[in-house]
Amino acid sequence: MHPTKRNPFIRQFNFDLDEVNDMSGKNQWVVRNGDKWGVRGEGNDRLTSVHDTQQEAFERARDIARNQGSEVLIQGEDGKIRERNSYGKDPFPPPG
């Protein structure tokens, strides 16, 4: 018999790990929006907030990412990712 079928602790432990993995939030993107900068949750069509400077947008995105345990990805004016910061639980030791 498989150990998880016999031992309720193992079943509960596996369930808890799955729950923790589902708790991470959406990555936050700092993007150009006309002459302003916006924060957009990954997969969202609409901006979460709009700011006059990239720094202000980054600070808002960082606050959201810290709260959700996710990442901030900053796009440069050329649209390429120029920086990314993780505020979640990174694996230890890191892979690779």
Residues 32-72 have pLDDT tens digits of: 999 999 999 999 999 999 999 999 999 999 999 999 999 99
Residue 88 pLDDT? 79
- Non-local CB neighbours of 58 within 8 Å, separated by 6+ positions: 30, 72, 74
Q: What is the band of 24 on the pLDDT scale with cuts at 50, 70, 90?
A: low
Residue 35 pLDDT? 96
Q: What is the band of 7 on the pLDDT scale with cuts at 50, 70, 90?
A: low
DSSP state of 23: T
pTM for the model stands at 0.69
Q: Which amino acid is at 27?
A: N
User: Any idea which residue has 């997969």 for tokens?
Assistant: 43
Pair 29, 79: CB distance under 8 Å? no
